[in-house]
Chain A
Amino acid sequence: MTEPPSPGPGLASKIVAGVLLVLPFPVYLAVPSYAKITPRLAGFPFFYWWQLLWVVLTAVCIGSAHLLTRRRGGGAR
């Protein structure tokens, strides 16, 4: 079966999307890098606000990857 030609995302967009999707993994898995009390933010030790901040950033990464690889009338990939 051949796929109907559709305006899919370009290679560059796919690569950027891929990087964005992988990014949260090294951030979270490098545990010693954020196992620190300071700097504190609003009373929160670094360990906590850094990880909570990255929950938001992970969502932003995925959202951006979605917009980068979106295809009209259907999803990409």
Chain B
Amino acid sequence: MKDVKGLELTIFVFFFVAVTVVGFAAARWRRGQTLMHLDEWGLGGRSFGTFVTWFLLGGDLYTAYTFVAVPAAVFAGGAMGFWAVPYAAIAYPIVFLVGPRLWSVSHRHGYVTTADFVRGRFGSRGLGLAVALTGILAMMPYIALQLVGIQAVLTVMGVTGSGLARDLPLFIAFALLAAYTFTSGLRAPALISFVKDTLIYLTIIVAVLYIPSKIGGWGHIFDASQASLAKPNPVTGKPSGSLITSNMTHWAYGTLALGSSLALFIYPHTVTGALAAGRRDVIRRNAALLPAYSLVLGFLALLGYMARATPEVAQGVAKAKNPQLAVPLLFDHAFPQWFTGLAFAAIGVGALVPAAIMSIAASNLFTRNVYTAFLRPDATPAEETRVSQFVSLLVKVGALVFVLGFDKSLAINLQLLGGIWVVQTFPALAIGVFTRWFHRWALLAGWAVGMVYGTWTAYDTSSPTQKHFGQSIADIPFVGHTGYIALTAFVFNIAVAVVLTVVFRLVKVPDGADETDPSDYTADATDRPAEPGDPGDAGRELTPASG
């Protein structure tokens, strides 16, 4: 461990210790009668207001990986990396339409997970299981990528070394995270997200005002980046990218934005954060307020250009052959040490909040839709919570093994696949809150087709450095353009679901029972308070076993 930057590291460690204390203390915050109920441990008591939910969902959706990877993509490819901004804008009209209905029906029936809703709506444990497994599969690599974010800042701070010395800090950070998630549940990331988001906003506002003034203004940043992007890349011989999208990339840009916006609200960690809201209006207001983070994301993306326009930083990234270091190196170069420490703490703490919520979301899915649904139908709420707590530990150990044991590119590949997979649950989940027109088996078949097509197509893509899973875009059949695989797979998914629904109705394959009522989708907290011990149990017995 040579060249460790003392002051940076001290401030970084200080914030890590501070959030750990907050994490454990959170168990007492807004405490319910018991923590041994999934409504309490897994959803923070279902009582968060607009303010807390804004911080929680903001801390949840805008992950450390985003903060490192989005500017890295802009750094490496120019305009194409900016698709995250339209994505983070158009996702919110969808949140506004789908979110309140999902919240209401979940509140009335005590649903804790997305798969709970799908099972109850379509009377099919099998469809619920498909949604649950998709969610768990998508969460694992996503958690692993949060570690990649922490690793990037640790590397720049000089914590490199080899073997155990390099991995130990990461190991400690995750052990602490696992411990306070175990004891405090969703309250821990909710409270820590205040620290995280304050640090992030502070860092970005300072970066956006300070760095351009230091390196010659915005006009210069864009011009220098344009010139630099136009130079041929030594590997491919083609320009690295351009300042605006071209005829070749318009479709990719638009489909990446649209496809990802479909995924945003149906990711298990988003739904977990949303269901923790105490009132229906909280979701509606947050759909309008959360784009504030998207604006921050937009400026963050532009840090990629600042890195490119600063020769020392661009050289450093080229030397390390790792564009993920663009923002950490930029901060390290541009800021005084103490502020760099603060900015790195923002990224590091930024990894902990989503990692905690994701592990809670994945363990809730396992507990409710695998364990209780198939193995122990009469599990008590306390037993469910106990299982969730232990699964959340397992999930984190899994993520750690992933990052330490395998090549990082595996986690990135699987994250890419995770996005493609999650979109395939959109028909059952997001369309399901509006209509039950689709037949349950048609939805399952459409899901399977989308999953297989998406996985196979993604496997088939290559990049200059990778033979498989090289990128998230591929040729769209019959269209003649390149587009996001998730969206193409989604179109096939819907087509199959529509055709088979018509066929199944014609041959009169029985529909599952719907345990929800139209009024459930517009209900508010005051209409009927959620009762402990009533998490969907009423409907579970009535639903015909049809997995």
Q: Which one of B39-47, B144-152, B282-290, B494-502 is at the A interface?
A: B282-290
CB-CB nearest in chain A for B302: A48
Of B89, B292, B302, B522, chain A has the most CB atoms within 10 Å of the CB of B89
Q: How far is B220's CA from A44's CA once the two chains are assembled, in angstroms?
A: 10
Q: How far is B281's CA from A56's CA once the two chains are assembled, in angstroms?
A: 21
Please tell me if the beta carbons of A3 and B85 are within 8 angstroms of each other in the complex: no
Whether A58 contacts B90 in the complex (CB less than 8 A), given A66-B288, A74-B527, A76-B522, comes out as yes
Q: How far is B220's CA from A45's CA once the two chains are assembled, in angstroms?
A: 11
Q: How far is B518's CA from A45's CA once the two chains are assembled, in angstroms?
A: 48
Q: Which residues of A contact B219 (CB under 8 A)?
A: 40, 43
Whether A31 contacts B253 in the complex (CB less than 8 A), given A52-B298, A66-B285, comes out as yes
Q: Assess whether B93 is interfacial by the CB under 8 Å rule.
A: yes
- Within the complex, the shortest CB–CB distance from B266 to chain A, in Å, comes to 18
Q: Which residues of B contact A43 (CB under 8 A)?
A: 217-222
Q: Assess whether B440 is interfacial by the CB under 8 Å rule.
A: no
Q: How far is B519's CA from A49's CA once the two chains are assembled, in angstroms?
A: 43
Please tell me if the beta carbons of B294 and A62 are within 8 angstroms of each other in the complex: no
Q: Which residues of A contact B247 (CB under 8 A)?
A: 32
Please tell me if the beta carbons of B222 and A51 are within 8 angstroms of each other in the complex: no
Which residues of B508-540 have CB atoms within 8 Å of chain A's CB atoms?
A: 517-519, 522-524, 526-527
Please tell me if the beta carbons of A22 and B93 are within 8 angstroms of each other in the complex: yes
Please tell me if the beta carbons of A58 and B245 are within 8 angstroms of each other in the complex: no
Q: Assess whether B97 is interfacial by the CB under 8 Å rule.
A: yes
- Within the complex, the shortest CB–CB distance from B62 to chain A, in Å, comes to 13
Please tell me if the beta carbons of B246 and A35 are within 8 angstroms of each other in the complex: yes
- Within the complex, the shortest CB–CB distance from B296 to chain A, in Å, comes to 10
- Within the complex, the shortest CB–CB distance from A77 to chain B, in Å, comes to 6
Q: How far is B295's CA from A66's CA once the two chains are assembled, in angstroms?
A: 20
Please tell me if the beta carbons of B254 and A55 are within 8 angstroms of each other in the complex: no
- Within the complex, the shortest CB–CB distance from B229 to chain A, in Å, comes to 12
Q: How far is B6's CA from A57's CA once the two chains are assembled, in angstroms?
A: 44
Please tell me if the beta carbons of B298 and A28 are within 8 angstroms of each other in the complex: no
Digitize B209-251: 1 where CB-to-A-CB distance is under 8 Å, 0 elsewhere. Answer: 0000000011111100000000000000000000111110011
Interface of A is mostly: helix
Please tell me if the beta carbons of B85 and A21 are within 8 angstroms of each other in the complex: no
Q: Which residues of A contact B257 (CB under 8 A)?
A: 28-29
Whether A52 contacts B284 in the complex (CB less than 8 A), given A42-B218, A73-B524, comes out as no
Please tell me if the beta carbons of B85 and A55 are within 8 angstroms of each other in the complex: yes
Q: Assess whether B258 is interfacial by the CB under 8 Å rule.
A: yes
Please tell me if the beta carbons of B522 and A25 are within 8 angstroms of each other in the complex: no
CB-CB nearest in chain A for B247: A32
Please tell me if the beta carbons of B295 and A35 are within 8 angstroms of each other in the complex: no
* Of B280, B283, B298, B302, the contact of A55 (CB 8 Å cutoff): B298
Q: Assess whether B82 is interfacial by the CB under 8 Å rule.
A: yes
- Within the complex, the shortest CB–CB distance from B265 to chain A, in Å, comes to 13
Please tell me if the beta carbons of B288 and A21 are within 8 angstroms of each other in the complex: no
Whether A52 contacts B295 in the complex (CB less than 8 A), given A25-B93, A43-B219, A43-B222, comes out as yes
Q: How far is B526's CA from A48's CA once the two chains are assembled, in angstroms?
A: 44
Please tell me if the beta carbons of B522 and A55 are within 8 angstroms of each other in the complex: no
22 A–B contact pairs at CB < 8 A? Answer: A1-B519, A25-B93, A35-B244, A35-B246, A45-B222, A48-B82, A52-B295, A52-B298, A55-B294, A55-B298, A56-B291, A58-B90, A58-B291, A59-B291, A63-B288, A65-B96, A66-B288, A70-B281, A73-B524, A73-B526, A75-B281, A75-B283
Task: Using CB atoms and an 8 Å cutoff, list the residues of chain B in contact with chain A.
Answer: 79, 82, 85-86, 88-90, 92-93, 96-97, 100-101, 104, 217-222, 243-247, 250-251, 253-254, 257-258, 280-281, 283-285, 287-289, 291-292, 294-295, 298-299, 302, 517-519, 522-524, 526-527
10 additional contacts (CB under 8 A) given A43-B218, A55-B291: A31-B251, A31-B253, A52-B295, A52-B298, A52-B299, A59-B292, A62-B93, A66-B287, A70-B281, A75-B104
